Structure 1
């Protein structure tokens, strides 16, 4: 136990040092933490009492990282008005459809042109179609854009993307792993997921008086215990219904966003969000062995470039359809292009099915590029917009 505590403590100390460096450079700590994790892990040496492979504590660090995802998405849900989100219903469906299918179809074309077999091509198309909810949340929070006009649409598109992910995983699991999913079973599964999401919207709209009374707890200690235990229960229960744990946390945050206690909840969540969120990005990098990346670099670079372009264009289309400005529409495309945990989930399905080994290397490089470049591009969105504005002359009368 002492060794485990020391290993986890070592990891946390390194995370703190790297986060301080990122803060001094006035940059997001996401790419720094991912690279830190990559430099360590199973390939790293043991120097004296310091085991930089974190072999004994890897599962604990991964679990702490999973907690970070829950807090990131829960906080993001708290920041939004369900009424505004519902009012964007048609715009979310349009934007989500454009986003998912443009990425999926270009992913199919990319896989075919790159010479991948059929099943590998389908997996790659799925990987290129799903954004990282945790990283999108972190980018919005880091850049203080949770109150921006385009952020409700981004949130809605994330929810739409999760529905696509549930359908895609259901179909491909049946195809690749045997026990093929029937059409009727698939429809029931999707209906349950949609119904579960709608339930939280209904709770947010109609259940606020009850939630206000239930959360009227004078003791800060009991208040935190009630909120956090409910968060973990809802997230875990969501996974049982084939709704991602992260989305369950997001929905729970949305349900509480209309209560009179929302500021008190957010105040208590922020320190945990920042701490465990940092652990998540470190643990994400910890799972990438840079020695295995060489053979897929150029293919992954091409896939990442396609994703950046397609996401920018689909974000512009979604934003303009919603009546947003060119600048806000640009922010959408530059925010949702990051790839992370969900892309890896899709890839792991193909790896578990015994598809070609190159798929694993491609996934690692592709995710790494967009996990590092994505937040940096989002940070520079103002300059990118200015450059595009000069090219397309959007603001000219």
Structure 2
């Protein structure tokens, strides 16, 4: 253990270098963290003929990455809250359902068409369905699109995805981690997971007045200890009943978002979310053999094409259901195409379940491509829409539909 502190310091310095480069290039930081992890991971010696490997610190870095997942999901829970999910409205529910249905179905078809077994197909569908909240939110802020008419739908779909993710990871946990191979076993595990989630949310909301009292302390040290105790105990207990620990963290965030101390909790959590979240992406990169990516190249490229098509179609339909213009609707699909932290979480679930090794490099390459393409497509969405509008005549069709709805259909 003589070099443990030095290795951790070196890892953090490399992560900081990746963040510095991404800031200079004004690009999403996630692919840089993953690429640096790949470049200095256990397989790096085969490429660079240098010993970059983090030998003593590897287990600790992996554990810190797990902590990063908890903080990422916990913070998302704080941002949305159960109340906000309920108040999101019918249009967001419809748009979110359209988005999930199209992308999840395409993910299942892609996994089946690629010849993956059932469990791997379910993992692939999860990887390709969920957008990166972190990348999407950053892009919206950077491009000053928070006031755009389609942004409410984009954020609503992201919230809808979080709910879907919670349910889907619960089901996957029962299938992949508990070893249930029968339909009855899967349903029992899923019901146990969903029951735990519902009970925790109901009890948590009832306990809000008590939580307000407990958290009404002036000491920042005591306040942090209470928050961290709630987070780690509930997330850890979730894991013991085969519910992903990340979902336990999300549920704690949703509950604490209802308290009067939510802004104080956010200020406390943000530095931990950023620090441990960066280590999470770096630790994921450490597990990837760059030489193995070639075997996943065509699978990843195929999944990227399917995702681009599915996102655009889903965005157009979701926007149409909410009465948005074709241009605003196209922005929805082009903005939420990025994949990141949640795809990696689902991929790690496959790794924990001992599924095909191909899943990890497939997810890594898929996330890298879309983490790079996503912000670019969002930035150039205006030009992309103009090009597609010349081909598919979205605006002409929209005007025709409006006339038909008013009883002034020229074909009538």
Summarize deviations over 1:292-349 as a string: whole Å, max 9, x none.
2223312321122212322333344345445666637743664365153234235437
**Residues 74, 253 of structure 2: 8 Å contact kept:** yes
Equivalent pairs, count: 380
- 1:360 aligns with 357
- Quickly say closer, same or farther: Cα 1:217–1:362, change in 2 above 3 A: closer
* Residues 33-42 or 89-98, more deviating: 89-98
Task: Determine if the alignment matches structure 1 residue 127 to structure 2 residue 128.
Answer: no
Counterpart selection for 1:163 from 153, 162, 167: 167
Name the counterpart of 2:182: 181
What pairs up with 1:1-397 in 2 under 5 angstroms? Answer: 1-45=1-45, 51-88=51-88, 94=94, 97-114=97-114, 116=115, 120-131=116-127, 136-143=132-139, 148-149=151-152, 150-171=154-175, 180-183=181-184, 185-203=185-203, 205-321=205-321, 327=328, 330-331=331-332, 334-335=335-336, 337-338=338-339, 340-345=343-348, 347-348=350-351, 352=354, 359-361=356-358, 363-374=360-371, 376-378=373-375, 380-384=377-381, 386-388=383-385, 391-392=388-389
Q: 1:331 to 1:201 in 2, by over 3 A?
A: farther
Shift of 1:229: 1.9
- Structure 1 residue 163: Cα displacement: 1.6
TM-score, structure 2 as length reference? 0.79
Structure 1 runs of 4+ aligned residues shifted over 6 Å read 132-135
Deviations 1:250-299 (A, max 9, x none): 22111111222111111111111111111111111111011122233123
> For structure 2, which runs of at least 5 residues remain unmatched after alignment?
400-412
User: Given the superposition, is the C-alpha separation of residues 135 and 249 from structure 1 closer, same or farther in structure 2, using an over 3 Å criterion?
Assistant: farther
For the 8 Å contact 1:77–1:250, the answer to whether it is kept is yes
Indicate conservation of the 8 Å contact 1:74/1:251, yes or no: yes
Measured in 2, the distance between the counterparts of 1:67 and 1:32 equals 20
Do the aligned residues in 2 keep the contact of 1:154 with 1:332 (CA within 8 Å)?
A: no
Consecutive unaligned residues of structure 1, counting only runs of 5 or more, are 354-358
* Cα gap change, 1:338 to 1:369, in 2 (>3 Å): same
Q: TM-score with structure 1 length normalisation?
A: 0.82
Q: What is the distance in 2 between the residues matched to 1:225 and 1:346?
A: 29
Cα distance, 1:152 vs structure 2: 3.5
Superposed CA offset, 1:344-383 (max 9, x none): 2354377x36xxxxx5346413432324423541464142
Distance 2:126 2:112 in 1: 19
Deviation, 1:238, is 1.9
Pick the structure with greater CA Rg.
2
